[in-house]
């Protein structure tokens, strides 16, 4: 098994990278979806405020890496040991270590290249512009976007971005052009080009 951990600040383009992976035939999982499923099971209101409070409470109760464990459970249930899986939303070095230890367990001949940290970089202005266009009721308010950035930074987002062994910039407005670049980037990293 090989894992690509997609990292980046909100609005950077992680979801576009996930779409590329899906189009290329790879399984993808958004770590936020694993937490969302947990919130649904607990009957949490799913607006930004209640969901972020729930996620923060779980991090305080179970540790900063709790969502990585939920995601590993999903991978175990839905993927084979031969898969290359794209994980959208790793937010800290602690979460990275959960995935690395999981791979050491399932890959008899584990190599460092079995886990890749793929950072998507974009300016704050570009990210906020994208977020405000998503059309969700909880997006578009500058104070909420800044609070979300602070929360993710407090979880360790900047350290995992800095640690990434693959980095791609997403400063443009042409989504298809960016996705084409991502596909080439991934193929080159996998040795397919």
**How confident is the prediction for the chain on average, in pLDDT?**
91
Q: 189 is written with which tokens? A: 């990293």
What number of other Cβ atoms are within 10 A of residue 3's Cβ? 24
CA distance 189 to 153: 27
| pLDDT tens profile 110-163 | 999 999 999 999 999 999 988 888 765 445 578 888 888 998 998 899 999 999
Q: How far apart are the C-alpha atoms of 119 and 124, rounded to whole Å?
A: 15
Burial track 44-67 (b if 16+ CB lie within 10 A, e otherwise) = beeebeebeebbeebbeeeebbbb
The CA distance from 9 to 101, in Å, is 24
- Give residue 135's pLDDT: 62
Bridge partners of residue 84, in order along the sequence: 2
How do residues 70-116 score in pLDDT, each as one tens digit?
A: 999 999 999 999 999 999 999 999 999 999 999 999 999 999 999 99
Q: Structural domains in the chain?
A: 2-184 (3.40.50.300)
Residue 35's CB: how many other CB atoms inside 10 A? Answer: 21
């Amino acid at each position: 098994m090989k894992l690509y951990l997609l990292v980046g600040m909100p609005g950077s383009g992680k979801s576009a990278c996930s779409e590329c992976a899906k189009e290329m035939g790879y399984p993808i999982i958004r770590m936020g979806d694993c937490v969302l499923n947990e919130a649904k099971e607990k009957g949490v209101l799913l607006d930004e405020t209640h969901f972020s409070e729930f996620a923060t409470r779980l991090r305080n109760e179970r540790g900063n890496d709790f969502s990585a464990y939920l995601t590993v459970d999903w991978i175990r249930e839905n993927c084979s040991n031969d898969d290359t899986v794209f994980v959208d939303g790793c937010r800290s070095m602690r979460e990275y270590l959960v995935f690395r230890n999981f791979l050491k367990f399932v890959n008899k001949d584990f190599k460092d290249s079995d886990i890749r940290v793929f950072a998507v970089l974009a300016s704050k202005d570009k990210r906020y512009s994208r977020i405000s266009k998503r059309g969700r009721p909880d997006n578009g308010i500058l104070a909420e976007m800044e609070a979300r950035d602070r929360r993710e930074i407090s979880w360790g987002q900047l350290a995992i971005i800095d640690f990434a062994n693959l980095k791609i910039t997403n400063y443009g407005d042409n989504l298809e052009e960016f996705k084409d670049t991502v596909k080439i980037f991934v193929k080159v990293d996998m040795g397919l080009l």
